[in-house]
Structure 1
Amino acid sequence: MKLLVIGAGMMGSAAAFDMARSSEVESVTLADADIARAQDAVQFIAKSHGKKGAPVQPVVLDAADESSASALMRGHTGVLSAVPYFFNVGLARAAIGAGCHFADLGGNNTVVRKTLAMGAEAEKNGIGLAPDCGLSPGLASVLAGDLVRRLRTEKGPRRTAAPAKKKADKPAIDALKLYVGGLPKKPRPPFEYQLVFSVEGLINEYVEPARVLKGGKLVEIEPLTEPEEFHIRGFRPMVAFHTSGGTSTMPESFQGEVGECFEKTLRYPDHYTLIRGLHDLGFFSSEKRRLKSGEISPRELTSHLFLEKLSGEEPDVTIMRIEAHANKRVLSYTMLDEYDRRTNLTSMMRTTAWPASVVLQMMAAGAIAKRGGIRQELDVPTDLFLREMSRRGVKIRFAQTGR
């Protein structure tokens, strides 16, 4: 297979790194608007893999130019969008035109819905569209779907919606809870955080509503709300709170079967307090403000300052716990992943870009047989996916308690 990655930032570079070492991949193209950045990434990959990896070719591409993107996609089996979420609808449309399997790292609920709405056209062209293939949603979605299927098998066939005017049955699964966070191993005050992915994606998580199931109903709630204390061995207490995008399509996929479904982001307490204050003061607003020096939105300025003040090279850790509750039974997946000194890749790069790379390769190889819109929690074969992640050194532990 020949694969294309659009975006040579942290995640795009890590995805190309993974693809280049796959025995099934013939070649990789790494495209970016900044050719120097793409070339630097290619040099890093070549140095890491030596003569063992597939060749990686840097090229220039403006991700906003659908025509050029589609032309570049032709001749490739699959393409991964590793650019900010607002490019993804156009790139998905370009992939359909080029007959090229498409995956992206997600980041925005509206964009994901628009992408999946093109599923019928993609199916007609024989390709898969898989949005939201990063860490959470993405890796977390695959694991959550597996827990639901395990409990479903124990409890019998899936229940369908109740007939009109008849009281609905209690959902078979009480709750599906996802807790995910990427954190520096040695946090520095006052923010106790380090940028490990796109600043646009980070702020979007803090401003867009979160989609959840509450009492079996799909509702939207404000981000940064319902904080709770979270504990995991080896770390000091954290705060878990709602952010946008983490549940992706899970509320629709599991409505009627799961009573409560949410994803909460993990941060250290001081970070949560400061971010909540910035949010409430309007620092994430996209509304332009006129100043003596010109016009700027608070969000633009905050993005700039976050890049300036919160960037760093401190080794990171990714923490994830997925829990499915049914009566007194609890099934869970837990992952603690750290920066890899051997490859010089951050944990966030490994746990975000590599799942996306795996899903794209599974589509291209036919391991994911479905065409059209792909939902991670429903359509990705969990056993094969977990084997591939384990082979890459990402260890995920399953546990169960109760009868």
Structure 2
Amino acid sequence: MRKIAVIGAGKIGSTVVDLLISSGAYEVRVIDQSAEALAALKSGVETAAMPIDDPAKLAERLKGCFAVVNCAPYHLTVTVARAAAAAGAHYLDLTEDVASSRVTRELAQTSGTAFIPQCGLAPGFITIAAWELAKHFDELHDVRLRVGALPRYPSNALNYNLTWSTDGVINEYCEPCEAVLNGKLREVPPLEECEEFALDGVTYEAFNTSGGLGTLCQTLDGKVRNLNYKTIRYPGHASIMKALLNDLNLRNRRHILKDILENALPATLQDVVIVFVTVSGLKDGRLMQETYVNKVYAQMIGGEMKSAIQITTAGAICAVLDMLAEGQLPQKGFIRQEDIPLEAFLANRFGRYYAPEDQIAFRAAAE
């Protein structure tokens, strides 16, 4: 039985633990600085309460582990990655932070183990799905990725509830976004280029946010006309967030914005995750389009209700870990999400949460 270290016992980390333990294939060690968070975990899990901002001390706790699954806040990504490298363990994380992922790529160059960052929903599964569609075309024109974790029953002006890391949400709303525009790799501002679209009779908006593309910009640079990633919300969300971040200058006082959001917006387990990928280009000389659409809802896992964002994020990183453990992925070096086959991912016991038969749709239509 392989030993896995899970860093962080929050909403996502605890769900990762539940999935891994329920599989019966892994022994799990959970590390978090909060003894209270560790105490809330189910019994039968090894825990260690300690600061995780010192890579040398953390590396000591990671020795003997097959892999490290990093579910800590994005600003600790580099610390945990360095500790995993020092301990000689495989490394997986969920970060959307572009700068942290670049450091992880550098660590992979000298490590004897696999480094697989950005294994969540977006970046993560969205890239796997987009790359699969992109491979169907002889010439790519436009690749559009849209993802959102939304309350099913919004009841405030932001039309939003906290379903994920507050730090992560603020970071993706503030940092520059990568895109390919007219064949050129660019940085574009967050919360801009807002668009509206309808799906199943519901109107949504989508706007630029940081980090969702993972390595896809570099992979498709010079091969696609336009490539972009946008976060899905209900209409009106972006304009209020721009007022908070720009007009009230909370962009430069993120701790205040975090406090406001966490004390004003209730959390909810009644959410839905929407994955919407559209790719267009030439196939056999014809202009064609393919679209991948999926909605994932909250459901019971191990006798406990889990939100859709917990399921999709934790399920994705557990699926990649499983594929790594089974030898389906390279055992050394930097592994992109594009290197993970969609079919194998969806066939995995953890990846199956993305593929309920009544909620998934593939369709192709002439443009």
Range class of TM-score, shorter chain: over 0.9
Instruction: For structure 1, list consecutive stretches of 5 or more residues without a partner in the other structure.
Output: 44-54, 156-171, 287-297
The residue number in structure 2 matching 1:12 is 13
| Matched residue, 1:41 | 41
Q: How does 1:75-90 map to 2 (within 5 A)?
A: 75-90=64-79
One-letter amino acid matched to 1:361? D
> Which stretches of structure 1, 4 residues or more, deviate above 4 A after TM superposition?
none
Q: Give 1:4-403 correspondences, 5 Å limit.
A: 4-25=5-26, 27-43=27-43, 55-122=44-111, 125=112, 127-151=113-137, 155=138, 172-234=139-201, 236-286=202-252, 298-327=253-282, 328-341=287-300, 343-377=304-338, 379-388=339-348, 389=350, 391-392=352-353, 394-395=355-356, 396-402=360-366
How far is the alpha carbon of 1:176 from its aligned partner?
Answer: 0.9
In the superposition, relative to structure 1, how do residues 393 and 149 fare at CA in structure 2: closer, same or farther (>3 Å)? closer
Larger Rg: 1
Between the two proteins, the alignment pairs up a number of residues equal to 356
Query: CA 1:311–1:222 in structure 2 vs 1: closer, same or farther (change >3 Å)?
Result: same
Distance 2:3 2:365 in 1: 44
Q: Which moved more, 1:387-396 or 1:325-334?
A: 387-396
| Deviation sequence 1:35-61 (CA, Å, 0-9, x none) | 221120225xxxxxxxxxxx4222213
Q: Distance in 2 between matches of 1:110 and 1:281?
A: 26
- For 2:261 and 2:15, locate their aligned partners in 1 and report how far apart those are by CA, in whole Å: 22
Letter in 2 for 1:387: A
Paired AA for residue 29 in structure 1: R
CA–CA distance in 2 between the matches of 1:390 and 1:368? 15
Q: Report the CA distance between 1:340 and its aligned residue.
A: 0.9
Identity %: 30
- Partner of 2:104, secondary structure, is helix
Q: Deviations over 1:108-143 (max 9, x none)?
A: 111111111122112xx2x11111111100010111
- CA 371–398 in structure 1, closer or farther in 2 if over 3 Å, else same: farther
Aligned residue for 1:76, secondary structure, equals coil
Is this contact kept in 1: 2:115–2:335, CA < 8 A?
A: yes
Q: Which residue of 2 aligns with 1:163?
A: none
CA RMSD after TM alignment: 1.6
TM-score, normalization: structure 1?
A: 0.85
1:102/1:360 contact within 8 Å kept: no
